Chains A and B, each alone.
Chain A
Amino acid sequence: MDFRTCVNIQKEWDIVGARQFGRDFSKKLGFGIVDQARIATAISELARNIYLYAGSGKICFDEVENVGSRGICIIAIDTGPGIKDISQVMEDGYSTSGGLGAGLPGVKRLMDEFDISSKTGEGTEIRVVKWVR
């Protein structure tokens, strides 16, 4: 797992860099065009969250394997204010109603696995996985 690659997110422009890297990486892993687009959208959401709410952080990419199937693992890490009420941000309609985009429930829908941990005042880590079908 040491060949993990990370893209730092500080400026809005960095979101594009993270998308580009994620798309190339998922293409290499054998994802189809639709899944590539889904993965890129998920990365966008994660990176935008860092850019908008945490100020800075990074998006890291890994290849994962599980009984014969390959997948992409994306970890978004920031040292921002953290999320006080995770259930609330995971609720449908919480972010979309304000027109903020798909939000974390959207990321969860786009990917196969989703895991979040957050500490107020320390930061947030979100780990998502998608398997090649």
Chain B
Amino acid sequence: MDALKLDLSHYRELLKQYIDTQDESALYEAEQISKRSIQHNISLEEIINTHINALEDIYPDLPENIQHSMSFLLEVMISYGLALQEFQDLREAQLEIKSEISVAARVQNTLLSTEKPDVEGFDIGVVSVPANQMNGDYHHFIHHEDGTVGITVADVIGKGIPAALCMSMIKYAMESFPSEHKNPSEILESLNRVVERNVDPSMFITMFYALFNPAASTISYSSAGHEPGFYYHAADDTFEEIRAKGVVLGVTDMAQYRQYEREIHAGDMIILLTDGVTECRQGDRFIESEEVLEVIKGFSHLSAQELVENVYKHFEKLQDFHLRDDFTLIIIKKDV
């Protein structure tokens, strides 16, 4: 059970030195013993036993009542010793789980990887960072043959592993849709049925789906209860919320989604996000979405990728480098 026995003679000498001199250096040595003992898994009761033995060696005539009191102490410490062993085993188990999760996170990254489109006349920036190791936010670009691009931004209510598992399912469901199937309202309706049938009722998924047509400079979109994005009008330097009505995925199998369309003008920006962006917290205070827009405006002279990265860095710092929720931000800028 004990990897290494405590060195009784060393302990005895130190104890004697301390009893004789009350010297701090002996206490410092005692601290070293304690650390070494933890390192070598020497149990608590073993240390007390060593103490008892050392004491009996130093004082062969140790009064019996003191001896009994030491046995009493030993008994009291047994359960503490056990708890410590359990703690050590649990810590090992936790390390194992952590490394498993980091493997899972790598698998997820590969599964859900997506390529940012490179379209003429537009500049696109994407940042998606999980709060923990696994991401419950999802974004994906689908490149259609006719040059249009499907853009998905989704958020599973909840985060971590269950959310991440759910997202992998969403991705494969979407890939199984026929390629001519690209209207946002149709996609959300099909997906809603998949979610309704396959996902635990306690789990909700919000999604914004857009079909971006760079040639026509239009974007059509539908939303399933997703955090609204923003449209930036360069002409009067204002932001407008991109409102779209629609129920969260998986609530009812009959859900219908309205489809909206708008034209994108030169210098304008489409801002898509998850609530990890708009619900950043500074201490106990939730930030206002105006603050997000202010920050975006502040960096809007940069390229779209630099812009989203700087916005992320800003809020990461604001939250003391500890994200509370997964953070996904996509910005599409139309060149001037």
Chain A residues packing against B (C-beta within 8 Å)? 32-34, 37-38, 40-41, 92-93, 96, 101-102, 105-106, 109-110
Contact = CB atoms under 8 A, between A and B. Distances in A.
B79 A34 contact: no
A106 B86 contact: yes
Contacts of B74: 33-34, 37
B75 A37 contact: yes
Given A37-B45, A102-B82, 20 more contacts: A32-B49, A33-B71, A33-B74, A34-B45, A34-B49, A37-B71, A37-B78, A40-B75, A41-B79, A92-B90, A93-B86, A96-B86, A101-B79, A102-B79, A102-B83, A102-B86, A105-B86, A106-B79, A109-B82, A109-B86
B86 A41 contact: no
Nearest to A19: B75
Contact of B82 (A33, A34, A40, A106): A106
B292 to A, nearest CB: 41
A92 B93 contact: yes
A115 B45 CA distance: 25
Contacts of B79: 41, 101-102, 106
Contacts of B46: 34
A110 B93 contact: no
B1 to A, nearest CB: 8
| Chain B interface helix/strand/loop/mixed | helix
Interface string B50-81: 00100000000000000000010011001100
Contacts of B75: 37, 40-41
Contact of B90 (A40, A93, A102, A110): A93
A7 B46 CA distance: 29
Given A34-B46, A34-B74, A102-B79, A92 B52 contact: no
B93 A38 contact: no
A96 B85 CA distance: 12
A102 B83 CA distance: 7
Interface core residue of B45, B78, B82, B86 (most chain A CB under 10 Å): B82
A92 B78 contact: no
B96 interface: no
26 contacts: A33-B52, A34-B45, A34-B46, A37-B45, A37-B71, A37-B78, A38-B78, A40-B75, A41-B78, A92-B86, A92-B90, A92-B93, A93-B86, A93-B90, A96-B83, A96-B86, A102-B79, A102-B82, A102-B83, A105-B86, A106-B79, A106-B82, A106-B86, A109-B86, A110-B78, A110-B82
